[in-house]
Amino acid sequence: MTESRQPTEGSSAQGSVVSLVVPLVVLAAATLGAIFGGPEMPDRTSAVLFAASTCGVGSVAAWAVSQPRRTSPAGRVAAPLAATSLRLAPALVALGWLQTSGSTLAASGAGGYLVSFYLATLAADVIRTIMVSRDGARRRGGIETN
């Protein structure tokens, strides 16, 4: 049995770009806020950029694995699981590295920035997903308002 690759909700080129841009814009805003608004610490900029690049890699990897959307039941389950794993893995590896041998970055607060940036990009992606899926369901007539 072959898996069909018919377009589904959110798989258009515009939806694809939005699903990549939204978490990255949130990450950029959080990075700028941390660089210019955070407490003065030695190597703070390096810690912020390390955390931002780690979360950016995870966001791009998660986006890449979820394109194009699969229409088979297995594909619809596997793509979000793989995206979640690829979003989380770089952050966990980086936190482990900071705990064992990243003394300068760890002392500069990179772990806290990493957790903050990860949660910010995750929240942006979840909110974007909910908004896109609700709009698509409304167009298909699948959601009734209370």
- Per-residue model confidence as pLDDT tens for the chain (146 residues): 444 444 444 445 666 788 889 899 999 999 999 999 877 888 899 999 999 999 999 999 998 888 776 678 888 888 888 989 999 999 999 999 999 987 889 999 999 999 999 999 999 988 887 877 766 666 656 555 55
Nearest partner of 20 among 57, 53, 49, judged by Cα: 57
Nearest partner of 67 among 54, 51, 86, 52, judged by Cα: 86
Would residue 96 count as lying in a domain? yes
**Beta carbons of 78 and 70 less than 8 angstroms apart:** yes
Report pTM. 0.78
Would residue 31 count as lying in a domain? yes
Would residue 2 count as lying in a domain? no
Would residue 67 count as lying in a domain? yes
Would residue 42 count as lying in a domain? yes
Would residue 3 count as lying in a domain? no
Would residue 8 count as lying in a domain? no
Would residue 6 count as lying in a domain? no
Q: Which residues contact 50 (CB under 8 A, 6 or more apart)?
A: 94, 105, 110, 113, 114
Q: For residue 78, what are the domain limits?
A: 13-137
Show the tokens assigned to 112. Answer: 């806290």
Q: Measure the CA angle with vertex 109, ends 103 and 114; round to 5°.
A: 105
Q: Measure the CA angle with vertex 122, ends 65 and 48; round to 5°.
A: 105
If one counts the domains in the chain, the total is: 1
